[in-house]
Amino acid sequence: MPSGPRPADVPRIRLTLTLYRISAIVTGVFLLLLVVMMVCRYGFNVDIAWSSAFGFQLTPKEMIEEQGLTNVSLIILTTHGWLYVIYLAFDFLLWRFTRWSFGRFLFIALGGIVPLLSFFFEFRVPKWVRAELAKVEPSEVTE
């Protein structure tokens, strides 16, 4: 299979790159929240809870249901999981349209698993994409 994007895919690549960058930031923020939640849960044996009377609070997991609190830790965990799926979808689309190696796809996929890596990729991946687009249309891509 020849490497490099097809000229017909350039508009799709630009749109996918924009959506990828947004998903990288949002997924990265929730990954940092997940790290905080994991430290609270496994380091201090408490979960993050919410009550309308007291706001956010750290509460032992078994007391959250007894007191009728909202378990924010589970919300963070579930939300990050679904956001990571979206992040992977945009990573896959970039990989497919730019026709990169599968190793690069897997490398970028680590951005939703390793804390702070998605923020690095949010800046690095556009440079890689622009370099690929420069091969297809050298006069239009100047950034």
What's the confidence (pLDDT) of residue 139? 58
Is residue 2 one of the residues assigned to a domain?
A: no
Average pLDDT of the residues in 68-91: 96
What's the confidence (pLDDT) of residue 141? 47
Is residue 112 one of the residues assigned to a domain?
A: yes
Its domain, for residue 15, covers: 8-135
Domain count, the chain: 1
Tell if the pTM clears 0.85, that is, is over it. yes
Q: Which of 126, 142, 140, 135 is nearest to 15 (CA)?
A: 126
**Cα–Cα dist 133/32, whole Å:** 32
Q: What angle do CA 67, 39, 56 make, to 5 degrees?
A: 35
Answer left, alpha or beta for residue 67, where phi above 0 means left and psi between -120 and 50 means alpha. Answer: alpha
Is residue 141 one of the residues assigned to a domain?
A: no
